[in-house]
Amino acid sequence: MSQKMKIGIIGAGTIGSVHADAYQKVADADLVALCDILPDRLAEKAKRHGVPLQYTDYHELLANPEIEGVSICVPNRLHAPIAIDALKAGKHVMLEKPMAMSAAQGEAICAARDAAGKVLQMGMVRRQGADAEVVKKAIDDGRLGDIYQIRIRLVRRRGIPGMGGWFTTKSESGGGGLIDIGVHFFDLAMWATGLWNPTRVSARTYAKFGSPMQDYHYISMWAGPPNYAGTFDVDDYAAGFVRFGDQATLSFEVAWAANANDEQMLEILGTKGGLKVGGDTVLLTEVDNMLADIKLNFDNKADGFAKELTKFVAAAKGQGEPAATGEQGVVAMKLIDAIYKSSKLNQEVTVGE
């Protein structure tokens, strides 16, 4: 392997550009190729990021033997097929979230990784936040004691991306806000606490803001202007309750849109202390039989994507572990599958069945 690992990015949209910028900060990476099916976007992005090789067909990028690793930054429907093709072509794979459209697809990606003997890293960038790291360290150091309840509130007052585009079309995305943003905090909660065993779920998803699409008065349309000829058939709000055996529980609200204030919060309750990710990071505990609020101060300025991609390249070079594994991606997908199933059946369901 050369000193710098040659990288290609497949999908030159919003997050493809974020990866392109972040790879510039990864000392061991050399971003050499970009792929998108839209030739104009491809040319513009390649120029912007100074990427020499351009492909409109990802198979041709994968056929280039010089390229050792790829970032996959395409709509969710294409995650599994492109990841599997890339692994079969002998590339290390950095796969954006959500892992796939279902846990079954995620398992197929892991099988392809095992057959290829290459590195697969999931794009769970929220773990790279300094606040997340501080919370995980506090948990690992035993400062929370036994953890028994987690609360996730991930609510946008109005934030449906690309109304009528791939994000709001279930056959392209696998779902709405739940799979799009919920996956970040489900992963964060399980990673921070080590509770990778969700067992039962009771949940309900709703679609209250996207139909008819013209009635949605969006504030931010960063994912492009609305396409009123397109589709909205996904969730914009989800609430539910998850059991981790008889050990712990998790309640959540995840919304792309709701008549509620914006909030991004993960709260973890333990017998010795409680902590939040989102807002001030304050350990609520007791010291000398008095209630104590201990504010944790840390530098939160690092670029999470650069940290994530640095870990991907290091893992590909055999110098570390992937920052988030395929197996963890599959657990998150099983949880999401169960949430959608519970909502559809209107009853509690077993995760993984």
Ligand X SMILES: NC(=O)c1ccc[n+]([C@@H]2O[C@H](COP(=O)([O-])OP(=O)(O)OC[C@H]3O[C@@H](n4cnc5c(N)ncnc54)[C@H](O)[C@@H]3O)[C@@H](O)[C@H]2O)c1
Residue 73 or 250 with smaller CB distance to ligand X: 73
The yes or no reply on residue 81 touching ligand X (CB under 6 A) is no
Exactly one of 1, 24, 38, 262 binds ligand X (CB under 6 A); which one? 38
Please choose, out of 34-42, 212-220, 240-248, 250-258, the segment that lies near ligand X by the rule CB under 6 A.
34-42
Least Cβ distance, residue 332 to ligand X (angstroms):
13
Rounded least distance, CB 18 to ligand X, Å: 7
Please pick, from the candidates 26, 29, 35, 89, the single residue that binds ligand X as defined by CB under 6 A. 35
Q: Which of these ranges, 30-38, 99-107, 288-296, 315-323, lies near ligand X under the rule CB under 6 A?
A: 30-38
Q: Which of 33, 51, 69, 76 binds ligand X (CB under 6 A)?
A: 76
Among 5, 9, 11, 34, binds ligand X (CB under 6 A): 11
Part in contact with ligand X (CB under 6 A); list of ranges 36-44, 252-260, 278-286, 315-323: 36-44
Q: Which residue has the tokens 């991609």?
A: 309
Q: How far is CA 138 from the centre of its chain?
A: 23
- 163 touching ligand X, by CB under 6 A: no
**Binding range to ligand X, per CB under 6 A, among 1-9, 73-81, 274-282, 337-345:** 73-81
Q: Is 46 in the site for ligand X (CB under 6 A)?
A: no
Q: CA nearest 48: which of 72, 31, 73? A: 31
Q: Identify which of residues 10 and 32 has a Cβ nearer to ligand X in the complex.
A: 10
Closer to ligand X by Cβ: residue 82 or 138: 82
CA dist 6 to 36, 52, 91, 294, 305, Å?
18, 12, 10, 45, 18
Residue 124-143 contact track with ligand X, rule CB under 6 A, x = bound: -x------------------
14 binding ligand X? (CB under 6 A): yes
Is the separation of the CB atoms in 12 and 35 below 8 Å? yes
| CA of residue 6 relative to chain centroid, distance | 24
Residue from the set 5, 7, 9, 10 that interacts with ligand X by CB under 6 A? 10
Which two three-digit tokens encode residue 260? Answer: 């509620």
Beta-carbon-side half-sphere exposure of residue 31 (alpha carbons within 13 Å): 27
Q: Closest approach of Cβ 340 to ligand X, in Å?
A: 16
In the complex with ligand X, which residue's Cβ is closer, 89 or 283? 89
Residues 321, 339: contact at Cβ < 8 Å? no
User: Strand 282-287 vs strand 147-155: parallel, antiparallel, or unpaired?
Assistant: unpaired
Do the Cβ atoms of 32 and 67 come closer than 8 Å? yes
Q: How far is the CB of 283 from ligand X (least distance, A)?
A: 27
Binding status of residue 176 toward ligand X by CB under 6 A: no
Give 98 or 240: the residue with its C-beta nearer to ligand X.
98
HSE-up of residue 198 (Cα within 13 Å, Cβ side): 32
19 binds ligand X (CB under 6 A): no
Please state the closest distance from residue 145 (CB atom) to ligand X, in A.
31
Which residue type does 306 have? A
Q: Are 189 and 242 in contact (CB under 8 A)?
A: no
Q: What distance in Å separates the CA atoms of residue 236 and residue 213, rounded to the nearest whole number?
A: 12
Neighbours of 38 (CB within 10 A): 12
- Subset of 289-348 contacting ligand X (CB under 6 A): none
* Residue-wise DSSP of 233-286: -S-SEEEEEEEETTTEEEEEEEESB-SS--EEEEEEEESS-EEEESS--EEEEE
Residues that bind ligand X (CB under 6 A): 10-16, 35-38, 41, 58, 73-76, 78, 96-97, 123, 125, 180, 223
